[in-house]
Chains A and B, each alone.
Chain A
Amino acid sequence: MDANTAIRLKDITKTFGPVVANDKISLEVDRGEILALLGENGSGKTTLMNMLSGIYFPDAGQIWVDGREVTIRSPRDAFELGIGMIHQHFKLVDVLTAAENIVLGLDQKGRLDRKKVAREVRAISEKYGFDIDPDQKIYNMSVSQKQTVEIVKVLYRGANILILDEPTAVLTPQETEKLFAVLRNMKADGKSIIIITHKLNEVMAISDKVAVLRKGKYIGTVNTAETNPQALTDMMVGHAVTLDIDRPMAKYHDLRLEVKGLNCRGSDGVKALTDVSFTAMGGEILGIAGVAGSGQKELLEAIAGLQKVESGHIFYYPPHPKSDIAGNHVPVDKAGEELVGKNPTQIQKIGVSLAFVPEDRLGMGLVASMDMVDNMMLKTYKESKGPLVDRKTPRALAEKLIEELEIVTPGVSTPVRKLSGGNVQKVLVGREIASSPTVLMTAYPVRGLDINSSYTIYRLLNEQKMKGVAVLLVGEDLDVLLELCDRIVVLCGGRVTGVVDARTATKDQVGLLMTQSAGKEAEA
């Protein structure tokens, strides 16, 4: 440890009951340095950072800040030591302005001098190149603006050490670039930055050093300049994983779903979809790209019968009974069946399956406190005869999924909330696939998943595609969409701004379509 070391952790250990989340982890971060903390899901990255920011208290180990050994007992202690964390879920008060949020919770005597705060906020913004209006209310802000407020908030409080937990998960490629520019400015100013991320290209782009955790253990730290994505992946997962995603070609394509002039309003009465039209084919993975909140959720819900449709049509074309996965193809000869106006159960029976994965994985597709068996039968419990539930079939299904998808769980009776993210995802997608759908819709199926789990999900989706299923995939990682999908529909502000061939399209092209109308706003 030399004088330039901002933070030093030694043998930090934290256990949650029987789970060792962090096992004797040691780290060092210098001043004016960006450290990327890399690791698969459940490897203990967030836990470790939560101990630095005072949310958790370590069971054992020592922490030095600026060469002094310290005890961080609360977020306040952390803040007094100049450590600020920007969490994945923003902690802002919607009805207050940026400046009010920034000073919120500071003990200051006397009246709040708004002008002074605004001046200081502007000064910080100019220094690092933020784009922020101190008087704007949070509810009027985009996700990236909210993130900016969070960052300015910790800087305003004098943080010298910033921890960012997956900051790019919610940003467009352009916004990510902006954020990185700001981070570089802060680094030049001597701040220490720890950035938690899954995305290897971002690690390579922004960091000076990379520390890798695997299953709660510290694997090592390398200089970014001396490594490459492949080597980092090896450190993360323990063995080599090819980065290419498979994209097989189905034997034939078959019109399955036709959306025509769809208009919807979201739960807040705001127009969510405007005149959306596209087709989805059996034997194809259709990507749906767009900045978060561009109408993806409403679109999938409308198809599943969960969202009221104002006008427009959704036609479903059942596969011809003589078509099979061996390649015998008889074109669809029936007229489309209108899905608008049908209830979710009817649509499910037709074979349209929604594996919706909202922000928190356990939110909607699964019941967190129930075990796998009870979750398996969530959509099928009505099928058995009589008033009693049949738990034998779902139990068999759960056991089958555990084996086939290598789900790590103590058993079928363990509540799914005790499973790690990747395993929860496998449970959800596995259940949807088990209902042998003809249309499979998934949203963010790999959000927050480690590389191994992600590939399992990609494999499952490809298998479905090869069976002739029309797969609709709402995604956020453009690299993945471009490598996995056959075609991509791009949504922007509830409109379709383009449909591209994923085999030939470039990331810039899609990124531009994603921000076509929002672009002006971002510049304003």
Chain B
Amino acid sequence: MAAQVKAAEHREPLVRIAKRTDISRGKSWAIRAAAIVLALLLGALIMLLLGHNPFLVYADMVRGSLGTQIGRRETVKIAVPLLGAAVAIAPAFMMKFWNIGAEGQILAGGIAATYFALFWADTLPRVPLLIVMFLAAAIAGALWGLIPAFFKAKWGTNETLFTLMLNYIALGIEQYLQNGPWKDTKGTGFPIIAQFASNARLPKVLGVHAGWIIVLIFVVLMFLYLRYTKQGYEIAVVGESEATARYSGMSVPKIVMRTMCISGAIAGIVGFTVVSGADYTLNANTAGGVGFTAITVAWLAGLNPIIMVFIAAFLAILTKGSGTIQTNFSIPASVADVLTGIILFAMLGCEFFIRYRLIFRGKGEHSNG
């Protein structure tokens, strides 16, 4: 042991990690930009190894997602549910209630909306029908969100597992409906649900279903809700410390349940926009992993709904772009996924460098950056 100590004398560790106390906004964005550039370079390397010209591939990604009107519309279509779900989980995450059940809440909303689309389309005109579908989706999503919140508030169950399990239950219900009572009898015999009647479809605005307007309204509302309302303030306090919330006389169970109703309701409405605006039907892919990707969006945006718009747009461009290069360069889907993965990894990973800094030996005091 003594020998070790001797060897260690006069030597600083090669790299030390120190927490940053403050970082300017510009610098943190510079780090993020550098991370993305690094990820793009890494992706370029992979494409080079596969024998493609990375410049052409990247250019094609951009062209595919933004270059044409059809491409742009597709990109927006991808972004809408992603952004909506991210906004939905924002209040729950702010409260440190780890709602990873947006997936199930989207489905619950989609199922409720589909019920009215299938069975009330004959009796209701377009506007009232859409409003009923909207409300039904909101209520169904809210209930699906309320269940884990209720159990957590009453018996302290783990919300992460609970919301996750509810995803599968929602999916199971959807499968049952699709294969049983709601199966399209006029179709080819495949277990699918019939396409909605035209009065159950969301109208298009600027070429994309009106869901984008709904979601953008929620972005603004959520931003204001979290920042300027009493309920938003309560959410922040509960998220920071339940004990403090209790001490200041807040009813934590009530806040938890109310917030999850809001979170679930918005997710449910996202489900409504998907079935009524994008797919015109309900299927197992109605949520399609959006509820999970939305966590990345919400987190990268620091739970700020306004920033989520940009993150969701960026992810949608990536998704659409990698779809394009699959067809144009016959790059396997998995490689496109790897590329997306690298970029996401870099974006999440760089948060470490925003929070901490590395100090290399011998540069202790100078490397304050």
Interface residues of A (CB under 8 A from B): 16-19, 57, 59-60, 68-71, 73, 77, 80-81, 304, 306, 343-345, 348, 354, 356, 363-370, 374, 377-379, 381-382, 387-389
| Residue among B1, B8, B13, B19 having the largest count of chain A Cβ atoms under 10 Å | B8
Contact with A along B281-301 (1 / 0, CB 8 A): 000000000000000000000
Checking A17, A70, A71, A370 against B240 with a beta-carbon cut-off of 8 angstroms, the contacting residue is A370
A363-B241 in contact given A60-B364, A81-B5, A348-B249 (Cβ < 8 Å): yes
Q: A363: nearest residue on chain B (CB-CB)?
A: B243
Bound CA–CA A241/B158 (angstroms): 53
Residues of A within 8 A of B240 (CB): 367-370
Q: Indicate if the CB atoms of B230 and A388 lie closer than 8 Å.
A: yes
Bound CA–CA A304/B243 (angstroms): 14
Q: Indicate if the CB atoms of B248 and A73 lie closer than 8 Å.
A: no
Interface residues of B (CB under 8 A from A): 1-2, 4-5, 8-13, 16, 19-22, 228-233, 236-237, 240-241, 243-244, 246-249, 364-365
Shortest Cβ gap from A324 to chain B (Å): 29
Residues of B within 8 A of A71 (CB): 8-12
Shortest Cβ gap from B254 to chain A (Å): 12
Which 10 residue pairs across A and B have the least CB separation, nearest first? A17-B21, A345-B249, A344-B249, A378-B248, A367-B240, A364-B247, A364-B243, A379-B248, A389-B230, A389-B233
Shortest Cβ gap from A63 to chain B (Å): 10
A389-B229 in contact given A71-B10, A364-B241, A378-B244 (Cβ < 8 Å): yes
A17-B22 in contact given A70-B9, A344-B249 (Cβ < 8 Å): yes
A80-B21 in contact given A57-B13, A73-B13, A344-B249 (Cβ < 8 Å): no
Residues of A within 8 A of B247 (CB): 304, 306, 344, 354, 356, 364-365
Shortest Cβ gap from B21 to chain A (Å): 3
Residues of B within 8 A of A77 (CB): 5, 8
A367-B230 in contact given A59-B365, A71-B11 (Cβ < 8 Å): no
Q: Indicate if the CB atoms of A80 and B5 lie closer than 8 Å.
A: yes
Shortest Cβ gap from B369 to chain A (Å): 12
Residues of A within 8 A of B13 (CB): 57, 73
Bound CA–CA A231/B8 (angstroms): 42
Q: Indicate if the CB atoms of B12 and A57 lie closer than 8 Å.
A: yes
A374-B22 in contact given A71-B9, A345-B249, A369-B240 (Cβ < 8 Å): no
Q: Indicate if the CB atoms of B9 and A69 lie closer than 8 Å.
A: yes
Shortest Cβ gap from A486 to chain B (Å): 27
Q: Indicate if the CB atoms of B244 and A365 lie closer than 8 Å.
A: yes
Chain A binding surface, main DSSP class: loop
Q: Indicate if the CB atoms of A370 and B236 lie closer than 8 Å.
A: yes
Residues of A within 8 A of B1 (CB): 80
A17-B237 in contact given A71-B11, A348-B249, A366-B244 (Cβ < 8 Å): no
Q: Indicate if the CB atoms of A367 and B237 lie closer than 8 Å.
A: yes
Q: Indicate if the CB atoms of A17 and B228 lie closer than 8 Å.
A: no
Bound CA–CA A71/B13 (angstroms): 9
Bound CA–CA A363/B243 (angstroms): 7
Residues of B within 8 A of A356 (CB): 247
Q: A384: nearest residue on chain B (CB-CB)?
A: B230
Residues of A within 8 A of B248 (CB): 344, 378-379
Known: A80-B2, A345-B249. 4 other contacts (CB 8 A): A17-B20, A366-B244, A368-B241, A387-B230
Residues of B within 8 A of A374 (CB): 233, 236
Bound CA–CA A73/B248 (angstroms): 43
Residues of A within 8 A of B246 (CB): 306, 344
Bound CA–CA A369/B237 (angstroms): 9
Shortest Cβ gap from A149 to chain B (Å): 24
Shortest Cβ gap from B68 to chain A (Å): 44
Residues of B within 8 A of A304 (CB): 247
Residues of B within 8 A of A377 (CB): 233
Shortest Cβ gap from A502 to chain B (Å): 28
Shortest Cβ gap from B237 to chain A (Å): 6
Q: A346: nearest residue on chain B (CB-CB)?
A: B249
Residues of A within 8 A of B228 (CB): 388-389
Bound CA–CA A18/B22 (angstroms): 9
Q: Indicate if the CB atoms of A381 and B8 lie closer than 8 Å.
A: no
Task: Pull 5 A–B residue pairs with CB atoms less than 8 Å apart, ordered by A.
Answer: A69-B10, A73-B12, A356-B247, A368-B240, A374-B233
A378-B243 in contact given A388-B228, A388-B229 (Cβ < 8 Å): no
